[in-house]
Structure 1
Amino acid sequence: MAPTTADAAPAPTLPPPTSPWVILGSNPHVVELEGGADVSLALAAPPRVSRLAVSPCVFPDRPTPRNFPFLLATDPSGLLLLSAILDAPLTLVDVDLPGEQSVHWRYSDPRYFVLDAATGSAFRLPDPDPKEPIQHQALVGVLSSPAAAAAATWSQSSCPSWARTRPTSAASPPTSATRVFAPLRTLAHHGRLWWADYSWGVLTADPFADDPVLGFVPLPRPCVLKSREAWGVLDQLRYVGVSAGSLRFVDTYRRGGAPDKVTVWTLRDPDAPEWTLEHQATFADVWADDTYKATGLPKTAPVLALIHPSNPAVVYFFLEDHLFAVDVPARKVVDCERYHLVAPPREYGIVNRFVRDWELPRALSSGPGNWSSDIGLTEPTEAAPPSRPIPGGYHLVGNTKQTFIG
């Protein structure tokens, strides 16, 4: 005879599922953490979004839409690069660089931290010289040193510990006209840093070289846009990331209308000059499949989120309050879940810089200690919305001034 409800043994408590990688929200909670830790993680298997928390020692102010902590880059070593933009009195700063002299108003106090997720510690990097500021947060990344266990951070005009250096040479751009290079993401790949301008191409350099040399790989010819075309919205429509050991470019942009298809391009070799089209599918074909109908989502062009770090056929999208994955060549939805992100104001809309894919170090992926089975069941408190939205400009503070002159 089957036991009654009262007699039934309680169901065993199973550890939450683990994964070798996670989708990490870029905006952390700011909370007091147990044991005096500076960093804490609540991990969840994709497509759910994992959450990062930092202590008030990292960010002592109340986060606002203008001033807040933000995750800039991840590294498989377990290190995370975080910016903490604090409010500051309005100050006039002189800028005196070779060939450039100007002044600008400074109204924030940018701080940078390397977070060690495995130990829960945060290391504050030396403050950049206020007369030589990091011009844009999208210019910085984190990369493990090939010669040491420590990691170094570097920007296009800085080397480890923010000491200034200049590339000795650079590859020629694919045009003779003057144009601003405006990267939206910096990532590490093949022992180098890569700066992705979603309208034009990708710059790359080895920051540990004695004489760093910038290389340039233009986007596929049909994908190169005019200067400032689709300005401020490209991180809803395009993405550059690493998947299965190769650099991938995912594109949904369509001139003159809403996105109607997704293409996945591959840079087979880090030194290859051109991309190869690997996968493509129309959204109409995806919408027609039973797997999409089962999600209950509308037939509306989604926002591009990221590419699966080990399966380049799978691309993730935001739509309404869901994050879903599509097997592009199969035209099928393979995962779908409601997403819960800390802080991004709804007035700005969701964009792919609000999440980071992160291949976890073994210390985090092998054990259930940081994995949460109830993540996403409650909506986190959002930051107060701004009085006026700035499309595409929520976390990228600063002026990108990287110019090629033919």
Structure 2
Amino acid sequence: MPLRRLLDLSATVSDLLRRSLSTAAAPSHPPWAIVDYTSMVDRSSSAPGACFHPVAPPGISHVTAPAHLVNPRARPAPDTNVVQVLFGNVGAASGDGHLLLSYHDLRAEGPCTTWDLSAPPEIQRFVCNPLTGQMLRLPDIGGSRRTLVFHHMGLLTQADGWLGRGPPDRFAVAELAFHVAGAGLERFLSEKGEWETVMGVPCGPPPPRGMEVNQETVAFGGRLWWVDLTSGAVSVDPFADRPEIRFVELPSGSVLPARARSTEEDGDLRKVEDRWLFLREVAKHRRIGVSKGRLRYAEVSPHDPFLLSSFALDGDEGSGWTLEHQVELRQVLADGGYPWQDNSAQAAPQIVVLDPLNANAVYLKVGEHVVVVDMHNSKVTGASPLQDEYSLVPCVLPPWLASSTIPTAGRKDDMESTDDPVN
């Protein structure tokens, strides 16, 4: 019997055994959640950890951290025009429900129409178990909270038991950066308990052009994937002694033409902003994510009849993509109670997240709602109100997550953890 088939069979047996053991005590939380990218800081809370009350999709779940754990700078004096702003974000989710949180402490001097930073911003990073509220503070990169150059870090966990499907024994946080001299990896390994820089990471075959990441980093297949939704994704095993970059191009017909980098040509900052807006607009209609154990890519055309296409990566290393679904959304949404009005100003449907447990389901932003579309049956199966702008991260919530702790085998004195459950 081939090794891969044997592993698949073993995983199936493991799943069946675990289901039988947990039947009498089903978890009180949904199997996965859609998490708001924004994480608020609560100055009034004295909770020992993060606050997270998951709601079943398509509802949106939120993570809030008490200010005493974020440990911000002292409040500005009341007789000054200096304002302090505390905010956080959910940078990434691991494949087993852990979150990578970043919190920013900004000070700006008014008036509010012309704010100038009165001091360099500070940032702190945490690995969080959302169901227990445990937050593990990571050491400051380079010994300083003012290291802000890393914006697309990913979180990858590994487990030795239960065929790799139980509580993790280690984790890695990493950021991939491309320099003139080549690629480098900034990484934190829980077993070592410190940040390190790995330079000269080999890449073969290399991306055809420079990568511009415009969605959260994805954990899949024992690797972290950095996604450029105009061209493809690069992946790295952050645990490897000698990490190597792999590149997977988007499906044929989805690669967009390269755009010149304005700052390298004429230094026009307006063109830089135009480029950022372009990448943001692309990200509204495309997404790469993990569903049913495979890496998948979905896109919706921004023009009527809004063709939604879904592809699955062939194998973990990406020999190509297979088209699985293609649906014209205009009629599907109309039948589900969300008709498109001709010549209206309403925005075209946008992709919110892919369902990590159901390869047929995609979650869309339609007007002021998150709408669930079953691509296999071409029908709307659910909806929920959506407030304001959005950036959302899917997060699986396995049954064991509520009773597990974050691994800290290489924990240093400057790493702090809140170990007591708060929910």
- Whether the 8 Å CA contact 2:39–2:88 is kept in 1: the answer is yes
Alignment match of 2:169 (pick from 137, 149, 162): 149
Match of 2:297 among 249, 260, 272: 249
What SS does the corresponding residue of 1:284 show, helix, strand or coil?
helix
**Structure 2 vs 1, CA of residues 126 and 307 (structure 1 numbering), >3 Å: closer, same or farther?**
same
* Alpha-carbon RMSD: 3.4
CA distance in 2, matches of 1:188, 1:69: 21
Match of 1:328 among 355, 358, 375: 375
- Aligned partner of residue 393 in structure 2, secondary structure: strand
Asked if 1:357 corresponds to 2:368, the answer is: no
Cα deviation code 1:75-118 (max 9, x no counterpart): 2544210111211589xxxxxxxxxxxxxx99421221112224
Query: Aligned pair 1:44/2:64, yes or no?
Result: no
CA pair 202-155 structure 1, distance change in 2 beyond 3 A:
same
* Offset, 1:17: 7.2
The alignment partner of 1:109 has SS state of strand
Distance 2:301 2:69 in 1: 37
1:23 aligns to what SS in structure 2? strand
Instruction: Give the secondary structure class of the aligned counterpart of 2:333.
Output: helix
AA aligned opposite 2:93: T
Alpha-carbon distance change, 106 to 136 in structure 1, aligned in 2, over 3 angstroms: farther
For 2:378 and 2:224, the matched residues in 1 are separated by 33
Secondary structure at 1:231 match in 2: helix
Q: Which residue of 1 is the match for residue 312 of structure 2?
A: 266
Q: SS of 2:319's equivalent?
A: coil
Answer yes or no: is the 8 Å Cα contact 1:76–1:360 preserved in 2. no
The offset of 1:173, in angstroms, is: 3.4
Equivalent residue number for residue 309 of structure 1: 356
In the superposition, the TM-score normalised over structure 2's length comes to 0.67
Distance 1:358 1:297 in 2: 31
Asked if 2 retains the 8 angstrom alpha-carbon contact of 1:19 and 1:365, the reply is no
Equivalent position amino acid for 2:140 in 1: D
Label 1:77 to 1:221 Cα distance change in 2 as closer, same or farther (>3 A). closer
Q: Helix, strand or coil: the match of 2:186?
A: coil
Specify the alignment match of 1:56 in structure 2: 67
% same residue: 27
Cα separation, 2, equivalents of 1:273 and 1:134: 35
CA distance in 2, matches of 1:67, 1:35: 16
Task: Give the one of 294, 299, 323 matched to 1:277.
Answer: 323
Q: Does the C-alpha gap of structure 1 residues 67 and 218 become closer, same or farther in structure 2, counting only changes over 3 Å?
A: farther
Partner letter of residue 31 of structure 1? Answer: D
1:226 equivalent in structure 2: 257
Give a deviation string over 1:234-266, Cα, whole Å, max 9, x none. 221111100000001111145xx5672111011
1:239–1:251 CA contact under 8 A, matched in 2: yes
Which of 57, 70, 83 in structure 1 is aligned with 2:89? 70
Give 1:3's aligned residue.
none
The 1:330–1:280 alpha-carbon spacing in structure 2 relative to 1, beyond 3 Å, is: same
User: Structure 1 84/330 Cα, relative in aligned 2: closer, same or farther at 3 Å?
Assistant: same
Q: 1:174 to 1:356 in 2, by over 3 A?
A: closer
Instruction: Answer whether contact 1:67 1:85 (CA < 8 A) is retained.
Output: yes
Per-residue CA deviation, residues 248-305 of structure 1 (Å, 9 max, x unaligned), is 1111145xx567211101103111221111111112231342xx12x57868522210
User: Could you tell me how far apart the structure 1 residues matched to 2:238 and 2:64 are?
Assistant: 29
Shift of 1:33: 7.5
CA distance in 1, matches of 2:422, 2:122: 32
Q: What amino acid is the match of 2:126?
A: F
Measure how far apart 1:127 and its partner are: 1.4
Give the deviation of 1:208 after TM superposition: 0.7
Does the alignment pair 1:121 with 2:134? yes
The residue aligned with 1:165 is: 198
Residue 58 of structure 1 deviates from its aligned partner by 3.9
**Corresponding residue number in structure 2 for 1:318:** 365
Question: Per-residue deviation at 1:308?
Answer: 0.8
1:346-387 CA distance string (max 9 Å, x none): 4xx43xxx2111110314579xx999xxxxxxxxxxxxxxxx
SS at match of 1:233: helix
Q: Is the 8 A contact 1:17 1:45 kept in 2?
A: no
Q: Take 1:17 and 1:210, find their aligned partners in 2: how far apart are those partners?
A: 40
Count residues in correspondence.
322
Are the structure 2 counterparts of residues 226 and 245 from structure 1 closer, same or farther at C-alpha, using a change threshold of 3 Å? same
Secondary structure of the residue that 1:57 maps to in structure 2? helix
User: Alpha-carbon deviation of 1:36?
Assistant: 3.3
Q: What 5-or-longer segments of structure 2 have no aligned partner?
A: 1-25, 76-82, 110-117, 161-167, 177-184, 189-193, 260-274, 404-420
**1:87 lines up with 2:100 in the alignment:** no
Q: Which amino acid aligns with 1:122?
A: M
The structure that is helix-richer by fraction is 2
Aligned mates of 1:25, 1:89 — CA distance in 2: 25
TM-score (structure 1 length as normaliser): 0.70
Equivalent-residue separation in structure 2 for 1:285 and 1:213 (angstroms): 45
Is 1:204 the counterpart of 2:241? The answer is no
What code does the residue aligned with 2:324 have? E
Helix, strand or coil for the counterpart of 2:253?
helix
User: Is the Cα–Cα contact under 8 Å of residues 32 and 397 in structure 2 kept in the other structure?
Assistant: yes
Matched residue type, 1:215 = R
Which is further off, 112-121 or 166-175? 166-175
Question: CA separation of 1:370/1:66 partners in 2, compared to 1, >3 Å: closer, same or farther?
Answer: closer
Distance 2:402 2:341 in 1: 35
Q: Secondary structure at the match of 1:286?
A: helix
1:338 aligns with 385
Shift of 1:330: 1.8
Kept after mapping to 2: 8 A contact 1:33/1:39: no
Pair 1:29 & 2:40 matched = yes
User: SS of 2:67's equivalent?
Assistant: coil
Q: Give the equivalent residue in structure 1 for 2:414.
A: none
